Amino acid sequence: MNLKNIIKINKNLKNSLFLQVLYVTEFYFLWLNPAVHDVKIKYRKSILGPWWNVIANIIFVILLSLIWGQILNLPIRDYIIHIYVGLIVWAYLNDIVISSVTLLTGKFSNYYKNSYIPLLSINLRNVLSAFISFIHNLPIIIIFMILNSNEIHNFFLFFIGLIFLFFHSIWLSLILTAFGTRYTDVRPLVISLMSIGTLVTPIMWKKDMLGKYSELVYLNPFTHIIDIIRDPIISNSFNGYLILTNFIILVIGFLIASIILKYKGHRIVFWI
């Protein structure tokens, strides 16, 4: 598709997620290059850059595992992997959620108010820069998988989990950007919900600990998102159920984002 055709279809660009997907695919450098630029600028004056987060996570998880593993009488090695993966995925999702609600009222306010660009491009830029920081944890996870004697198909399943995580962040970011721009109260509300989410999502505890109520954790969509990453690292069995539930969450998420854009996409610029 050339530029002229893109301009022609631009008529409903702000109201159509599908057209926005075509647009950001054609003009990938509109979000991909700026996302890499954002990461470089963010860590420019830092010696270790995003590796600081990795080091902080390792120290935090080791200390937490030693204390809680002892209290709960759990095997330390399993517990370290459980907490580390849960924590980094949660921290990433938390970053996406909090940054998305203020995306258009903060950093990108002037840019969005004065440029003809699809909302999706800004969300992709935000999500990708957070994702680049997140994947700095990859070497630690690979070490865990090697230590855990994971089979090769687990590496493949883990990779699928990463893809799901990336796409979940996009719909989440789109929806929260729209609501966060429209209503001032959304930001404090979301921050409170994420604090509660830290406790009710199996990050530091295991769902088996809930006994007969263990299945209730699956009412929380974040459990599915974290587990699709964590399961292939911890267990050697294939869990098709998680792929199915993640796929359903993904479809519902994009459907909601698409409905919001269809009816309110062209008004978002007036809300800033």
Note the residues at the interface with another protein (CB under 8 A): 3, 7, 10, 13-14, 27, 29-30, 33-34, 37, 41, 44, 110-111, 113-117, 182-185, 266, 269-271
Nearer to another protein, 93 or 186 (CB): 186
Smallest distance, another protein to C-beta of residue 104, A: 12
DSSP string, the chain: --HHHHHHHGGGGGG-HHHHHHHHHHTGGGTHHHHHHHHHHHTTT-SSTTHHHHHHHHHHHHHHHHHHHHHHT--HHHHHHHHHHHHHHHHHHHHHHHHHHTTTTTTTHHHHHHS---HHHHHHHHHHHHHHHHGGGHHHHHHHHHHTT--HHHHHHHHHHHHHHHHHHHHHHHHHHHHHHH-TTHHHHHHHHHHHHHHHSTTSS-GGGGGGGGGGGGGSHHHHHHHHHHHHHH-SS--HHHHHHHHHHHHHHHHHHHHHHHHHTTTHHHH-
Give 29 or 213: the residue with its C-beta nearer to another protein: 29
In angstroms, give the least distance from the CB of 20 to another protein: 14
Shortest Å, Cβ 29 to another protein: 5
Which CB sits closer to another protein, 155 or 271?
271
Nearer to another protein among residue 90 and residue 112 (C-beta):
112
By C-beta, is 44 or 212 nearer to another protein?
A: 44
Choice between 83 and 186, CB closer to another protein: 186
CB of 159 to another protein, least distance (A): 28
* Smallest gap from residue 35 Cβ to another protein (A): 10
Minimum distance of another protein from residue 90's CB (angstroms): 27
